[in-house]
Amino acid sequence: MIKGSPQISYMRMGELARCSGFNKQLIHYYLKKGYLHPPIYKQGNQALYDESHLEKLLFIRNCRERGMPLGYTLELWNREKGDIKSQWRRGGSKGKGTPTRDRIIKEATQIFLKKGFRNTAISEIVRKVGVTKASFYYYFENKRDLYFVCLDYVFSAVFAGALEEIKKEKDPIKRWEMRWSATLSFLPEMITILQLIKESLASYDEEHRLKAAVLLRKSLIEPLQKDVVRAIRSGVFRPVESEVVTFAIIAIFDIMSYRSMINSKYTDEDIQRSVLDLILNGLLA
């Protein structure tokens, strides 16, 4: 086997045929018909395959030996494996996929962090990972689909330095200020994230709406809502609908994040101070 990384071993067609018990011509036929997903990696003109190809071929062979037709075998594969292709695209029941998929996520996250969503090309991702575009589209529908998967890593990176300090801070107002400051340090990406969430929530694609809703709640709403609830319990805030107020705070941040880009009249600190004053005191004299 060819070592693609410390976690992944790739096979050439001859080895895949030998391990699976199928001849090369039949495997090529399965690839052409779409019964088997495309090669994972190309080394020059040499197509390479990983354990996911072998697993499916062994499943097909086992079913053939039991006299099952190919059509029924493929249906059985999808049913018993829970439609593996869809699971890997969604991250599986525990957020885990194949080593190749995990490598795509890891490398893409670093590129997204460095260049942002719009300036990152799929061609750059597959070149960095060393896989084919066909392999990329096997695991992910498009760049946005991959980006949603990567966002958990992105949020971890945004708050990596501040998260422990935020946890230690007991004052809910100071916690809010710390979250704001941490987010401002990653402002362009946060703007892109919020824009993608809004676009996906308005999408006709139910899966994208669900992903956006889960991401919004898990990474933005719930952490801030806990701070609001803490402030209510400590008497700093009057009793309010914490979830609605949290959405309002996110909405204010979303539009106010553009203010410092217009001109330099106000610093980030000026904006943060004014917004905090508005939230705490309102506009009434």
Give 134-165 pLDDT, tens digit per residue: 778 778 888 888 888 887 777 766 666 677 78
How does pLDDT run across 237-256, given as a tens digit for each residue?
Answer: 899 999 999 999 888 888 88
Q: Are 150 and 181 in contact (CB under 8 A)?
A: no
State the pTM of this model.
0.58
d(CA 161, CA 135): 34
Surface-to-core class of residue 69, CB atoms within 10 Å of its CB (0-12 exposed, 13-18 middle, 19+ buried): exposed
202 plus 223 within the same structural domain: yes
How many domains, the chain? Answer: 3
Amino acid at site 174: K
pLDDT at 88 over 60: no
My answer on whether 135 and 147 are in the same domain is no
CATH number at residue 111: 1.10.10.60
Same domain, 174 and 208: yes
- In the listed set 42, 63, 86, which residue is the last one of a domain according to the structure? 86
Distance CA 243, CA 132 (A): 44
Q: Is residue 93 assigned to a domain?
A: no
Q: Which string of DSSP letters, residue by residue, matches 24-59?
A: HHHHHHHHHHTSSPPPSEEETTEEEB-HHHHHHHHH
Q: Are 100 and 5 in contact (CB under 8 A)?
A: no
pLDDT for residue 185 is more than 60: yes
Burial class (CB in 10 A: 0-12, 13-18, 19+), 81: middle
Is pLDDT at 5 greater than 50 in this prediction?
A: no
Which residues of 160-269 form beta strands (DSSP E)?
A: none
**Is residue 129 domain-shared with residue 150, that is, in the same domain?**
no
- Residue 106 inside a domain? The answer is yes
Average pLDDT on 86-101 reads 53
CB 90 within 8 A of CB 96: no
User: Does residue 225 belong to any structural domain of this protein?
Assistant: yes
Same domain, yes or no, for 135 and 202?
no
Q: What is the pLDDT of the chain when averaged over all its residues? A: 80
244: tokens are 């609605």
**Domain membership flag for residue 91:** no
Q: Are residues 59 and 10 in the same domain?
A: yes
Q: Please indicate, yes or no, whether residues 57 and 115 belong to a single structural domain of this protein.
A: no
Contact indicator for 40, 132 with CB cutoff of 8 Å: yes
Residue 175 and residue 52 share a domain:
no
Judge if 167 and 245 occupy the same domain: yes
Q: Which of 20-24, 173-177, 255-259 has the highest mean pLDDT?
A: 20-24
Asked, for residue 92, whether it belongs to a domain, the answer is no
- Do 225 and 261 belong together in one domain? yes
Give the range of the structural domain holding residue 115, as residue numbers without chain letter.
99-139
252, 247, 194, 255: which is closest to 224 by C-alpha?
A: 247
Q: Are residues 234 and 169 in the same domain?
A: yes
* 41/135 Cα distance (integer angstroms): 8
Is 17 within a domain?
yes
43, pLDDT greater than 70: no
Residue 36 sits in the same domain as residue 103 = no
